Structure 1
């Protein structure tokens, strides 16, 4: 097998050839058909997150060891099955749920492996999908992706699941007023598709980039606002018919958090999803004065992924803009993502070694 491997935090990914894998116990080996490139992969390459006030969360301090193959948005076809894996349809293409836990704690037992205190996330704590092949610990993490192009199914494991879970947290306001989405990257555009798929009110989108605002409008946003404009808050309020009761921040930076607090209405909810970094910029009195709820949302559960995949296979989710790249271009694609030059999602494909970037069908 071959892969793109991170050997040193802060350094480039390196191409590497390894012996073919043999599954043990309940493991399943898949040949990777598509691997999404996510902002989390950027943080992994950098080695951590900016926590603001001169502080930083380092992966090395949290027990993450290198080398590791990044990539947690992965689809593939079964090539080998462990002796305890049971019956698996080897003709079915699968999307992989990457957010596995320890499988033995109370959190995992409650169905929230993504919140496990000792996680085993694919592409973070164990090797991921920037590779020709991947090892999956148990068949329960495999979801039928029949009828879905691999480059469309792969981002559902993070981009899709993260937005799906975040939308559930504002479900009580979904029929009353348009929500506000901050950030029109891969997550924001995916959220627009999920809102349409579930017949929910379409949102107002906020982004500093004109091309991303245009993409959001094309995808169905009722308005797209530049937050740097002096009357940006007033424009959002006008488009929403008043101060919004739900704001989802897909960026998670100090300026976007500040804008979210400024724009949300009294009694509203702010969902912080993005991990760009920094510290909360709000004056503490504003929380009680506005009676605002601030919640974090970190991907979604195994059950929620099953619900999302069922929705996708029923044809209710239109693809977001997607570009395909050869696996060997992984580090260059991360650089493009870091520079904000990717609209929608970038996908790595191990069998495209001789091809340049290609636009997938919209």
Structure 2
């Protein structure tokens, strides 16, 4: 089968021919219908994360092995299933939960595989969806999407799930009564606006450097869209909230400038949920954290139950699809390069 892989970090993806995987036990082989191109794929392509202060986290040191087939936002049709795979039907389309754990640690036992310290995530530690076929280790990671469009559904496995989980950590008692500020209007930001609306949220004030992405946020229903590069960006955010500090912020970028601005705009006792992995180090004064009584929460993707909950909202028509543009699998490297350059509005999806 054909797949597109990171063979060397920072080098173009290469097309490789791999044997068609066989299945056993509860495994399922899917013919890939759609594979989202996510910003996290950039970090995998780069080989690590900027930790700030001259430090870097190496994915190679964390057990990521090359060649690596990218892709953790995947929808596929069942091609073959192992004898113990339950409730799967040949030819039917399924969304894949990719954040698979070891299955033996306390986090996995509690249903929080996304917090596993020995993860086996698809597209990170196991081959992902930038391929013609994908082997899923257990049928329980599959969610039937019925007649929904695979290309619009695929991003829910990461951008949708990540923002849904982040909003849950803010809590309905906040987001239903108060606007929140969202930093980043890429695929995750647009998804956050739609999911917030589906959850009965008051609305979002969105911050981004790119005018095209700010327009996309306004088109999606954002209360305001603010240029993060403006010298008075923090003041504009507060002004958009009627002159009052914000109750909560979701930082989908995770850079010093965005976390700093988010911190500055929060009310005493507010919540800051950091999702983005752009990198760098915080410049906050430690004394201000208890003085403001701010809750700073790191949020990493989401668990399988949360993805099921999100897909129930999608099937009910409560979450509108974000803008998606599809590309042939053979354009995987070019699409990833466009994402690196910041040229993708909404979500890019490969369709083998």
- Partner residue of 1:97? 97
Aligned pairs for 1:119-158 within 5 A: 119-158=119-158
Q: Distance in 1 between matches of 2:70 and 2:40?
A: 9
- 272-281 vs 14-23, which deviates more? 14-23
- 318-327 vs 168-177, which deviates more? 168-177
Q: CA deviation at 1:231?
A: 2.6
Q: CA deviation at 1:224?
A: 0.8
Matched, 1:26 2:57: no
Count residues in correspondence: 350
Q: CA deviation at 1:91?
A: 3.9
The runs of 5 or more residues in structure 1 that have no matched partner are 351-362
Q: Distance in 2 between matches of 1:232 and 1:8?
A: 39
- Partner residue of 1:345? 347
Q: CA deviation at 1:83?
A: 2.1
State TM-score, norm by structure 2: 0.97
Q: Distance in 2 between matches of 1:6 and 1:227?
A: 32
Q: CA deviation at 1:74?
A: 0.1
Q: Distance in 1 between matches of 2:351 and 2:176?
A: 39
Q: Distance in 2 between matches of 1:105 and 1:263?
A: 38
Q: Distance in 2 between matches of 1:76 and 1:66?
A: 24
Q: Decide whether the 8 Å contact of 2:79 with 2:91 is kept in 1.
A: no
Q: CA deviation at 1:84?
A: 2.2
- Partner residue of 2:61? 61
Q: Distance in 2 between matches of 1:164 and 1:236?
A: 22
Q: Distance in 2 between matches of 1:175 and 1:196?
A: 9
- 95-104 vs 6-15, which deviates more? 6-15
Q: Distance in 2 between matches of 1:18 and 1:227?
A: 44
Q: Over aligned residue pairs, what C-alpha RMSD do you find?
A: 1.0
- Partner residue of 2:286? 284
Q: CA deviation at 1:150?
A: 0.6
Q: CA deviation at 1:261?
A: 1.2
Q: Distance in 1 between matches of 2:279 and 2:86?
A: 43
- Partner residue of 1:226? 227
CA separation of 1:191/1:87 partners in 2, compared to 1, >3 Å: closer, same or farther?
Answer: closer
Matched, 1:301 2:311: no
The runs of 5 or more residues in structure 2 that have no matched partner are none
- Partner residue of 2:184? 183
CA deviation vs aligned residue, 1:86-112 (integer Å, no higher than 9, x gap): 452224210000001011111101000
Other structure's SS at 1:315 match: coil
Q: Decide whether the 8 Å contact of 1:178 with 1:202 is kept in 2.
A: yes
Q: Decide whether the 8 Å contact of 2:207 with 2:225 is kept in 1.
A: yes
Other structure's SS at 2:268 match: coil
Q: CA deviation at 1:176?
A: 2.5
CA deviation vs aligned residue, 1:255-294 (integer Å, no higher than 9, x gap): 1111111111111011000001111121212111211111
CA deviation vs aligned residue, 1:102-141 (integer Å, no higher than 9, x gap): 1111110100001001000000000000000000000000
Q: CA deviation at 1:228?
A: 2.2
Q: CA deviation at 1:64?
A: 1.3
Aligned pairs for 1:35-50 within 5 A: 35-50=35-50
Q: Decide whether the 8 Å contact of 2:250 with 2:272 is kept in 1.
A: yes
State TM-score, norm by structure 1: 0.95
Q: Decide whether the 8 Å contact of 1:147 with 1:313 is kept in 2.
A: no
Matched, 1:258 2:255: no
Q: Distance in 2 between matches of 1:29 and 1:92?
A: 12
Q: CA deviation at 1:17?
A: 1.4
